[in-house]
């Protein structure tokens, strides 16, 4: 039997919480992680009817895309849809876990699913994540350097784009003198030691830091391991919000919108004025993406598909690209299928159920 905590580790492999935006509320929202899991229900929104479905299907873990608890609350009295869902989940010992922007920013997440559904090729991140790269500097003797380097690589350090096992190494002279409580690997306590050390420098994504530090300490021969960690201003091009790619064959604007409407199963698309250009380069951002209009223009997109555009934001197209609002739910609609497929590959012989509830609050005539 698996505990909820064991399942959470798989979810965090799928969508590392460090990928999420700072404003977001991702991870385990309510529930006892030490409870034995009876089943997993995957949904888009953990509303009250979804909790009812979890109860009926004997699932005590609900994995949702949107966090049901987003803004802070001081009371849970059942006066609104959020509180009613939380109350029912708590009463029935159901845990709720949200992925949201942790999966939005993932290179295989929401926007890659969006691109794949549209058949886009040559895809890349539209808005790469900032402040996600760190650099580790450590020092050890020559005989230990290769072991330390390989351990760091195995933990995920030293990956830069299409290259792995990247490091910079230099040599210098070390000095130290241990006190009466020290157990020096080289030399004797109370006596100045001097020799040659290798300086090892590697970069890594910050969500890997705990494992990298653990690997360093387990493979370093010194009693006290010297480390320096720096925040890098470099852009991390492999995770971030939105994506841009290309159609294999260009299309007329109206034909493309009808194509996108069909592929994303949208009941309606609002769009800016047609530019008269062919559509070849397509930018997407699942969910509310008006903040990325300028990014899409700068990236040379012919069209930008997103949702929740306001009246005046359509003017921002400036006849440079076509803006299209396909609906919030619609832009993310295949996310829960992705989560179910991922979990079924990782967790065998366990009930992982795709919710049958349609939680899209927007209806069309």
20/159 same-domain check: no
171/254 same-domain check: no
- Please say which residue of 208, 231, 254 terminates a domain: 231
In a domain, 288, yes or no: yes
What average pLDDT does the segment 252-267 reach?
Answer: 97
pTM, rounded to two decimals: 0.86
**What is the SS3 assignment for the chain?**
CCEHHHHHHHHHHHCCHHHCCCCCCCEEEECCCCCECCCEEEEEECCHHHHHHHHHCCCCEEEEEECCCCCCCCCCCCCCHHHHHHHHHHHCCCEEEECHHHHHCCCCCHHHHHHHHHCCEEEEEEEEECCCEEEEEEEEEHHHHHHHHHHHHHCCCCCECCECCCCEEEEEEEEECCCCCCCCCCCCCCCCEEEEEEEEEEEEEHHHHHHHHHHHHHHCCCCCCCEEEEECCCCEEEEEEEEEEEEEEEECHHHHHHHHHHHCCCCCCEECCCCCCCEEEEEEEEEECHHHHHHHHHCCCCEEEEECCCHHHHHHHCCCCEEEECCHHHHHCCHHHHHHHHHHHHCCCCCEEECCCCCCCCCCC
Is the model's pLDDT at 2 over the cut of 90?
no
- Predicted confidence at residue 20, as pLDDT, reads 93
Range of the domain at 180: 133-231
In 3D space, the residue among 291, 296, 297 whose CA is nearest the CA of residue 320 turns out to be: 297
197/319 same-domain check: no
114/68 same-domain check: no
What average pLDDT does the segment 84-95 reach?
Answer: 97
Convert the pLDDT of each residue in 347-358 to its tens digit. Answer: 988 899 999 999
If one counts the domains in the chain, the total is 3
- Counting every residue written for the chain, the total comes to 365
Which positions make up the binding site for a divalent metal cation?
Answer: 66, 104, 328, 332
What average pLDDT does the segment 172-192 reach?
Answer: 90
Convert the pLDDT of each residue in 196-243 to its tens digit. Answer: 999 999 999 888 999 999 999 999 999 999 999 999 887 778 899 999
256/117 same-domain check: yes
Is the model's pLDDT at 1 over the cut of 80?
no
| CATH for 14 | 3.40.1390.30
Distances, alpha carbon 152 to alpha carbons 14, 15, 140, 208, 209, in Å? 21, 22, 13, 10, 10
| CATH for 222 | 3.30.70.120
- Please say which residue of 231, 263, 288 terminates a domain: 231
What average pLDDT does the segment 29-57 reach?
Answer: 97
145/207 same-domain check: yes
- Please say which residue of 165, 197, 231 terminates a domain: 231
Place of tokens 């295989």: 108
122/244 same-domain check: yes
In a domain, 363, yes or no: no
Convert the pLDDT of each residue in 243-255 to its tens digit. Answer: 999 999 999 999 9
140/226 same-domain check: yes
347/285 same-domain check: no
141/222 same-domain check: yes
Which positions make up the binding site?
Answer: 66, 104, 328, 332
């Amino acid at each position: 039997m698996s505990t909820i905590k064991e399942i959470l580790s798989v979810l965090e492999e799928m969508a590392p919480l460090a990928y999420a935006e700072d404003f977001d509320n991702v991870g385990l929202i309510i529930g006892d992680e030490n409870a034995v899991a009876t089943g997993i229900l995957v949904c888009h929104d953990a509303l009250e009817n979804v909790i009812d479905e979890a109860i009926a299907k004997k699932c005590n873990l609900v994995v949702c895309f949107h966090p049901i608890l987003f803004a802070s609350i001081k009371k849970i009295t059942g006066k609104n849809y959020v509180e009613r869902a939380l109350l029912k989940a708590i009463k029935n010992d159901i845990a709720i876990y949200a992925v949201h922007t942790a999966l939005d920013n993932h290179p295989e997440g929401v926007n890659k699913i969006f691109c794949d559904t549209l058949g886009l090729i040559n895809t890349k991140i539209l808005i790469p994540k900032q402040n996600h790269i760190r650099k580790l500097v450590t020092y050890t003797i020559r005989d230990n350097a290769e072991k330390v380097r390989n351990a760091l690589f195995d933990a995920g350090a030293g990956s830069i784009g299409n290259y792995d096992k990247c490091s910079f190494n230099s040599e210098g002279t070390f000095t130290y003198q241990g006190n009466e409580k020290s157990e020096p690997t080289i030399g004797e306590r109370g006596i100045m030691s001097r020799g040659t050390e290798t300086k090892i420098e590697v970069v890594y994504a910050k969500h890997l830091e705990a494992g990298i530090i653990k690997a360093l300490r387990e493979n370093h021969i010194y009693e006290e391991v010297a480390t320096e960690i720096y925040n890098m201003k470099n852009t991390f091009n492999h995770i971030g919000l939105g994506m841009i790619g290309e159609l294999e064959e260009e299309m007329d604007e109206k034909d493309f919108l009808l194509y996108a409407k069909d592929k994303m199963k949208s009941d309606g698309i609002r769009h800016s004025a047609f530019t008269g250009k062919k559509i070849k380069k397509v930018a997407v951002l699942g969910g509310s993406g008006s903040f990325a209009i300028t990014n899409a223009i700068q990236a040379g997109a012919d069209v930008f598909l997103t949702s929740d555009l306001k009246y005046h934001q359509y003017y921002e197209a400036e006849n440079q690209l076509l803006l299209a609002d396909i609906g919030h739910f619609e832009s993310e609609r295949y996310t829960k299928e992705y989560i179910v497929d991922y979990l079924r590959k990782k967790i065998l012989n366990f009930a992982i159920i795709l919710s049958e509830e349609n939680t899209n609050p927007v209806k069309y005539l």
